[in-house]
Amino acid sequence: MAEAHQAVGFQFTVRPDGVDLKLNTLCSGVYPASPSSWLIVVIAMMSSLYIRIDPSLGMIDSIKDNLPYRDCLSAQTRAVLSGILFATGLWLFLIYLLRYTLKVLLSYHGWIFESHGKMSTSTKVWLSLVKMFSGRRPLLYSFQASLPRLPVPSVDDTICRYLESIHPLLDNEQYNQMKILANDFRDSIAAQLQRYLMLKSWWATNYVSDWWEEYIYLRSRSPIMVNNNFYMMDLLYVTPTHRQAARAGNVVHAMLQYRRKLERGEHAPLRALGIVPMCSTQMERMFNTTRIPGIETDIVQHLTDRKHLVVYHKGRFFQLWLYTGGRHLLPSELETQFQRILNDTSEPQPGELKLAALTAGNRVLWARTRIKYFSQGVNKVSLDAIESAAFFLTLDEEPQGYDSTKTNSLDSYAKSLLHGKCYDRWFDKSFTLISYPNGKMGINVEHSWADAPVVGHMWEYVLATDCFHLGYTEEGHCKGDVNKALPHPSRLQWQFPKECQEVIKTSYVIAKQIADDVDLHSYLFTEFGKGLIKKCRTSPDAFIQLALQLAQFRDQGLFCLTYESSMTRMFRDGRTETVRSCTSEAVAFVRAMEDTKRSHCSRLALFRKAADKHQHMCRLAMKGPGIDRHLFCLYIMSKHLGVDSPFLKKVLSEPWKLSTSQTPQQQLNLVDINKFPKYVGSGGGFGPVADDGYGVSYIIVGENLITFHISSKFSSPDTDSYRFGRHIQKAMLDIQALFHPENDKMVGNGEHVQLVNGKKHL
């Protein structure tokens, strides 16, 4: 998602549930065994000794003879202690053996390359073994120690795949020049850089992730609003209540439930095919986390056990405690507290209204301002309250959401979530929850600590819990008794001199220019969806990516370097890899679509070839041997060693004029959309990546809906998000017509009419 923007030209007390938390931590620590299995091993060992069978082959006698203070112990006591010690050692050895066996099994990724629905016998056996060694009831972090490390690809393979990826984008002279640079790099410093990178991969849990977070995100000095943060929307068609305080009460309570399960590790680990585990490291910093600005680099501050929330409303900051009597506030209690804030008529203090614009502006300016004006006194106390809060909540003043009677309702909603007024979201928090007066919700997410699927997991849980478990009264209020004895939320206090207020204004001006330049268009593609695409025996993602290539060519008249985000979470601490979607096969297909002399059959054959190539690229990225993360780490290593590489410098400076990302649906069991078809989400999006390019996020919802979020810049004369959306729609319909040529008919003026689900589309 937004990492593509940063990847170009970057520079350098015990709670009541405490016992459960510790027990679950212990269970994850000894998984795939269980604490009770230790007792079983000890009993089995002592029973064998009782019947005079020594399974330790004399090791227990050796332990007995070397026990400290053995002269003070009776022979029977020494025998029991020796047996327990040996049994414990055997138990730990078996745990590590099981983990290592599981890690070896999980290092096999041949199943990724098998055709959908055609699983080989070897893969079936492998899956059975993985299932057997995975235990019965894994917790969220149970598999962490068993996940394999991300492998370092060979330099030759990476360079070969890189040259293949840029071939359709360059003319012969440009390609030959790039090939010369690549060969010079391979013959000079590549081997040295690769050796050091291999060394790093042996001692680091992941050779990419720490550098990716530091250099792509935290060292960037440009504003993070729009350039870094992304957003997620509420349910598309349904608003459970139109009472702002009530909806916020239920959603915040659901988030607290999610956080408690997260801290206990009680969420089920995400698993491919329902068996192969994914890394859960990113989820650890979802709550109680803030990006702290620095002069040269930011840091991510993660705290534990935060008991308060900071709320912004009409220019005022309020601190609200989330616990009472050792428990979470109930939804009805949260509603009462939020209503008190909404009813508060006090005025903002001088400089308070647009204070959060500091987090939206230049990072160096914010860091220096923080040191100068927020290092002591009430400003420090209030800033600490914000940065240590569980998360940040904005009670917005203007209604938003999808309205079928308004053509631009989703566009306005998306822009509100992405940047708002530039001063009403705390962009440094791990996420800002946004509540609208008509009951709609949404979130703005800081990107450095995690990727979109991680936040999406939480958001799916929250929306399902809000609608199907917590619910509302007939009047739209939260269920439960109202507790008016709770202490009122307290105002945060500030004292800003004139100089600080001027800095706040400067940051606001910078942020406002960025926000005003964002051309954001979100729309619903309802002509068909995943159901029809699968009937065509094609990957839905490949189908959409090829439609994006066709739309890009029709919009710009040329092909461009295309970024698609793919996850690498089958590896320990894995995050993302880039799929370079503009392949030679995709280019050949697009040219055939624009050639009126080509037949349906030839176009369809080229489409299938391009789709197969795209799927292969996605599978390679998931498996580890991608292109861009390897080259990125080689570049960082060259900087550490003080050596220069024109090839790596050229690669890392190439602009991604089309950046794309799919928002996955991960917990399909939470809502039965066949039974509740209106309870569907609309995904989320991110800001434009290149000054003259597009950012496209999409979510495939159910069988008949795809939502697109398209961003670009008004300042570019070459881009138009609405126009690009129309090109995407036509490209989707044109590709669909390849599978049903009888539905593609020419009309008198030369335009195509396509019949989809009985409807005519020009």
φ, ψ dihedrals at 392, nearest 5°: -120, 140
Q: Quick check: 115 and 147 in contact, CB under 8 A?
A: no
**Measured between alpha carbons, how far is 654 from 666 in angstroms, rounded to an integer?**
33
Residue 307 CA to its chain's centroid (Å): 25
Q: Quick check: 142 and 95 in contact, CB under 8 A?
A: no
57 φψ region: left (φ > 0), alpha (ψ -120 to 50), beta (else): left
3-state helix, strand, coil in the chain (%, to 5): 50, 15, 40
**Measured between alpha carbons, how far is 634 from 182 in angstroms, rounded to an integer?**
13
Give the pair of three-digit tokens for residue 634. 């080689």
* DSSP notation for 146-181: GSPPPPPPPHHHHHHHHHHHHGGGS-HHHHHHHHHH
Alpha helices in 311-439 (DSSP H): 331-343, 363-373, 377-387, 409-418
Residues 6 or more apart in contact with residue 564 via CB below 8 angstroms? 545, 578, 579, 580, 581, 618, 660, 661, 662
Give the pair of three-digit tokens for residue 368. 């220096």
**Which strands form 684-686's sheet, in the order they lie side by side?**
490-491, 316-321, 308-313, 392-395, 431-435, 441-445, 230-233, 684-686
How many angstroms separate the Cα of 502 from the Cα of each of 46, 188, 498, 511? 76, 52, 6, 14
CB crowding 529-538: b at 16 or more within 10 Å, else e: bbebbeebeb
Number of Cβ within 10 Å of residue 205's Cβ equals 17
Nearest to 581 by CA among 166, 228, 163: 166
For residue 186, how many C-alpha atoms fall within 13 Å in the half-sphere facing its CB?
A: 15
447 is known as an active-site residue = yes
Which member of 5, 253, 267, 447 is catalytic? Answer: 447
- Enumerate the active-site residues: 447
